[in-house]
Structure 1
Amino acid sequence: MSEVRVPRRLLLAGAGSAVAAALTGCGATAATKRPAGTAPSSPAGADAALRRKIASLLVVGFRGERVTPNDWIVTALRDGLGGVILFDQDLETKTVRNISSPPQVTALVKSLREASSPRLIVSVDQEGGQTSRLNPGNGFPATRSEAEIGAANSPATTRGWAQGLVRDLNSIGMTLNYAPVVDLDVDPNSPAVGKLGRSFSADPDVVVGNATEEIQAHRAGRVKTVIKHFPGLGSATGNTDFDVVDVSSTWQARELEPFQRLIAAGVVDSVMVAHILNTQLDPKLPTSLSPAVVTDLLRGRLGWKGPVVSDDMQAAAITRRYGVDDAVALALAAGVDLLVFANQQVYDDTVFTRTVDNVVNLVRSGRLTEARIDESVARVDTLRPSG
Structure 2
Amino acid sequence: MLKKVLLSVMLSLTALSAQEHALEKRIGQMFMVGFHGTEAPKGSQICKDIQRYHVGAVILFDYNPVDKNKPKNIATKKQLATLTKQLQACSEDGKLLIAVDQEGGKVQRLKSKYGFYGKFPKASDVIKMDQSKIKETYTKMSKELKSVGINYDLAPVVDLDINMKNHVIHGLGRSFGKDPKMVANYASTFIDAMHSNGVLTSIKHFPGHGSSVGDTHKGFVDVTDLWQKVELEPYRLLKDKADTVMVAHVFNKKIDAKYPASLSYKTVTKLLRWKLDYHGVVITDDLQMGAISQKYGLKNTLELAINAGVDILLIGNQLDPKKTVSTKKLVETIVSLVKSGEVTEETIDKAYKRIQNLKKKL
What is the TM-score when the length of structure 2 is the normalising length? 0.92
1:95-122 per-position Cα deviation (integer Å, ceiling 9, x unaligned): 3111111101000111111111411111
Aligned pair 1:380/2:355, yes or no?
A: yes
1:170-202 per-position Cα deviation (integer Å, ceiling 9, x unaligned): 100111100000000111331211111111111
Question: Once superposed, which parts of structure 1, at least 4 consecutive aligned residues long, lie more than 3 Å away?
Answer: 347-350
Match of 1:383, SS? helix
Cα distance, 1:243 vs. partner?
Answer: 1.5
Which residue in the other structure is 2:220 paired with?
244
Distance of 1:234 and 1:323 partners within structure 2: 27
Q: How does 1:286-325 map to 2 (within 5 A)?
A: 286-325=260-299
Which residue in the other structure is 2:230 paired with?
254
Q: Is the contact between residue 275 and residue 318 of structure 1 (CA under 8 Å) also seen in structure 2? A: yes
Which residue in the other structure is 1:12 paired with?
none
1:253 aligned partner, one-letter code: K
1:276-334 per-position Cα deviation (integer Å, ceiling 9, x unaligned): 11111111100111111100000011000111011001111111111222111100000
Match of 1:49, SS? helix
Q: Is the contact between residue 175 and residue 385 of structure 1 (CA under 8 Å) also seen in structure 2? A: no
Seen in structure 2, the aligned counterparts of structure 1 residues 386 and 205 have a Cα distance that, compared at 3 Å, is closer
Aligned pair 1:214/2:212, yes or no?
A: no
Distance of 1:99 and 1:295 partners within structure 2: 36
Distance of 1:340 and 1:350 partners within structure 2: 11
Q: Is the contact between residue 77 and residue 115 of structure 1 (CA under 8 Å) also seen in structure 2? A: yes
Distance of 1:382 and 1:167 partners within structure 2: 23
Long gaps (5+) in structure 1: 1-40
Match of 1:340, SS? strand
Which residue in the other structure is 1:148 paired with?
125
Q: Is the contact between residue 92 and residue 345 of structure 1 (CA under 8 Å) also seen in structure 2? A: no
Higher relative contact order (CA 8 A, sep 6+): 1
Q: How high is the sequence identity, in percent, across the aligned residues?
A: 36
Cα distance, 1:164 vs. partner?
Answer: 1.2
Cα distance, 1:349 vs. partner?
Answer: 5.2
Aligned pair 1:134/2:107, yes or no?
A: no
Q: Is the contact between residue 273 and residue 279 of structure 2 (CA under 8 Å) also seen in structure 1? A: yes
RMSD, aligned CA:
1.5
Cα distance, 1:93 vs. partner?
Answer: 3.8
Match of 2:75, SS? coil
Distance of 1:362 and 1:253 partners within structure 2: 35
Which residue in the other structure is 1:170 paired with?
146
1:138-180 per-position Cα deviation (integer Å, ceiling 9, x unaligned): 111111111111233x321221111011011110011110000
Distance of 2:49 and 2:324 partners within structure 1: 10
Distance of 1:92 and 1:301 partners within structure 2: 43
1:362 aligned partner, one-letter code: L
Long gaps (5+) in structure 2: 1-12
Aligned pair 1:97/2:72, yes or no?
A: yes
Q: How does 1:174-185 map to 2 (within 5 A)?
A: 174-185=150-161
Distance of 2:188 and 2:241 partners within structure 1: 7
